[in-house]
Amino acid sequence: MSHKKYGYSPKTALAQALGKIDTESQGVVLPIHVATTYIRGKDNSYPSGNVYSRADNPTYKPVESLLCELEQGHEALLFGSGMAAATAVFLALAPGDHVLAPKVMYWSLRNWLLNFATNWGLKIELIDMTDVEALKQHLQPGRTKLVWLETPGNPLWTISDIAAISTLAHEAGAQVAVDSTCATPLLTQPLTLGADVVMHSCTKYLNGHSDVIAGALIGARDDAYWQRIRAVRAQGGAVPGPHDAAQLLRGMRTLHLRVRESCNTALFLAQQLEQHPAIAEVLYPGLVSFTGHEIAAKQMQGFFGGMLSVRIAGGEADAIHVAANTQLWKRATSLGGVESLIEHRASVEGPGSPCPADLLRLSVGIEDQHELLADLLQAMP
């Protein structure tokens, strides 16, 4: 089901973009193809395999091949955004289908599920995906068509057991899709743990430079469900521009270096901040004290990600004060870039958010870890 076509280590696959070159010019950087339509052969076929750029563009292919290799999947599809990729998974279902998703997840998708998807006819149920026993109680054999996971779960970094959940979901006849954006393919490969589809917001770590919006899905197999997902992308035109696809590939070539640096610094910060009297709690899967650490250690390879959250002992006002007074940490939404970002998530998410008002979300970049720590400490009230 899952495979590695090229056989490279992740480092080599990323650095060389699978070693592909431009066969016409012999360039080591692939060209950008801006054509929107392609010549049909005299026999009425499409000899290049490309029909129309709403579904086919040679600039997408190197990114898709690389993602497929990293995730050990059957096929990868590039999308115009992470939300376009994620929603395609749900739009490939039918009205009336029952879906289980986590209470703690990316806020924009959570809102879309509770509004658009629900109004469209999907039966969305949000549950605690850290509790496998709770999942058993909510699965409806024959009716539950999809279990959506996000692990680590933004912004509390909750950990779901992909292997255990996949086994239970498949027994009930459901597909499993995993948002693995914050783990990246370097730390977790959900398809190898039993998932059917993995999603990445390529805007985040995969591009890593805060200058591209893109998303991707990687499927374990070519089945009817995957074909519906492909149709959603092609018919809806949910694809990136070719320049964004090329920029994404360039960003991915340093993914292994950036993720390693961010993870090392995130662990350092988590360990230091855990001891600070102004911090009530540090939420980071790499801490032994963190609920879910054991499962994270089992399904994440060597590192625990570059994202952490801290709860400020003084409450919401003090949390906002810290965010307002950092200098290196930039007050901005998003994550996974080379620059470190800080955000008071409850202000962003608004009413109905499961995010505590005293919480700050930290996206750890690749700056000097001691300077990042010092900046946080000087901002403390």
CA 187 to centroid of chain Cα atoms: 12
From residue 228, give the alpha-carbon distance in Å to each of 101, 128, 175, 245, 336.
20, 28, 13, 23, 30
What gap in Å lies between CA 205 and CA 203, rounded to an integer?
7
Among 8, 20, 46, 54, the one annotated catalytic: 54
54 part of the active site: yes
Using alpha carbons only, give the angle 362, 212, 320 rounded to the nearest 5 degrees: 25
Mutual angle of helices 369-379 and 255-273, in 10-degree steps: 40
What gap in Å lies between CA 195 and CA 182, rounded to an integer?
16
Q: Residue 152, Cβ neighbours under 10 Å: how many?
A: 28
Tokens in use for 325?
Answer: 């007074």
Among 61, 145, 204, 361, the one annotated catalytic: 204
Q: Give phi and psi for 263, each to the nearest 5.
A: -65, -45
Among 179, 196, 244, 358, the one annotated catalytic: 179
Among 56, 60, 106, 345, the one annotated catalytic: 106
Beta-bridge partners for 359: 311
From residue 113, give the alpha-carbon distance in Å to each of 16, 83, 124, 292.
38, 11, 7, 25
Question: Do residues 268 and 373 lie in contact, with contact meaning Cβ atoms separated by under 8 Å?
Answer: yes
Show which residues are catalytic: 54, 106, 179, 204
